[in-house]
Amino acid sequence: MMLRTFIAVEIPPDIQGLIAEQSAALKNRLPKAVIRWVTPNNVHLTIKFLGDLTPTALEQVAESLKEEAASHEPFSMSVRGLGAFPSPRRPRVIWIGLEAPAALEALVHGVEAALARLGFPAEQRPFSPHLTIGRVAQNVSLTGIQSLQSALESTRVGLLGKVRVEAVHIFKSDLRPGGAVYTHLYALAMK
C-alpha cells in the first residue's frame, strides 16, 4: 500500500476561519468556476511534497524528521497579503502570504537536508512561504482571467494574525472527486 504524503505546518482554526472570510469575499467578486477553492480546514503551509511512500519509508521519514524538528526552536509567523503564482498577470495558484522569520528558512533547509540523506531529491525552486487558497480552473476564459486580475489588484489582505510554529506535521493526501482529503499522520515537536 502506498501513501501519498507531504510535510507541512498546520494553521490554527481561528486563522483558517479568517482566511475563509477573505476567500469568500474574493469568490463573491468572481464569475463562477474561475477558481477551485481550497477547503478552509485544508489550508496549511507545505514544506515538502513527498509523493507516494510505503509505510516503511514513511516510518523512516518520520524518524529522521523527529530528530530534525527537535533541533529547531519554535517561532511565529504573520499571515497577511494576497497574491498569485506564477504572477497576477498569469495566475494559476491564489495564495495568502506569510511573513516568516529566518527560523522558517532554517527549518525548511533542515527538512530538505534530512530528506536528502534518505534519498529524496532536493526542491529546485526557492522556498516561497504561502498558503494556497485556490487554484485557477484550467479552462478559464480570458474574461474570467481579467476578472481575477482585477480582483487581485483591488483586494488588500491585512494582518490576519500570527501562527506559532511548534511542530512539523506529516499528512496523507487522498484525492477524491470533491477535492483532497488530508489525514494527519505525525506531529514532530520542535524544542
Please indicate whether residue 109 is annotated as part of the active site: no
Q: How confident is the model at residue 128 (pLDDT cuts 50, 70, 90)?
A: very high
User: CA 4, CA 150: separation in Å to the nearest integer?
Assistant: 36
* pLDDT at residue 52 in the model: 96
CB of 59 within 8 A of CB of 69? no
Q: How confident is the model at residue 177 (pLDDT cuts 50, 70, 90)?
A: confident
* pLDDT at residue 5 in the model: 97
CATH number at 25 reads: 3.90.1140.10
Residues contacting 75, CB < 8 A, separation 6+? 100, 101, 103, 104, 164, 165
Which domain range does residue 127 map to? 3-189
Number of domains in the chain: 1
* pLDDT at residue 33 in the model: 85
Q: Is the pLDDT of residue 53 over 90?
A: yes
Q: Is the pLDDT of residue 147 over 90?
A: yes
Q: Is the pLDDT of residue 23 over 90?
A: yes
Nearest Cα neighbor of 62 from 165, 191, 184, 180 is 184
User: CA 32, CA 13: separation in Å to the nearest integer?
Assistant: 26
Please indicate whether residue 130 is annotated as part of the active site: yes
C-alpha cell at 155: 483586494
Q: Is the pLDDT of residue 178 over 90?
A: no
User: The pTM is what?
Assistant: 0.94
The one catalytic residue among 72, 130, 169, 184: 130
Q: How confident is the model at residue 31 (pLDDT cuts 50, 70, 90)?
A: confident
CB of 133 within 8 A of CB of 94? yes
The one catalytic residue among 44, 72, 169, 184: 44
User: CA 189, CA 65: separation in Å to the nearest integer?
Assistant: 9
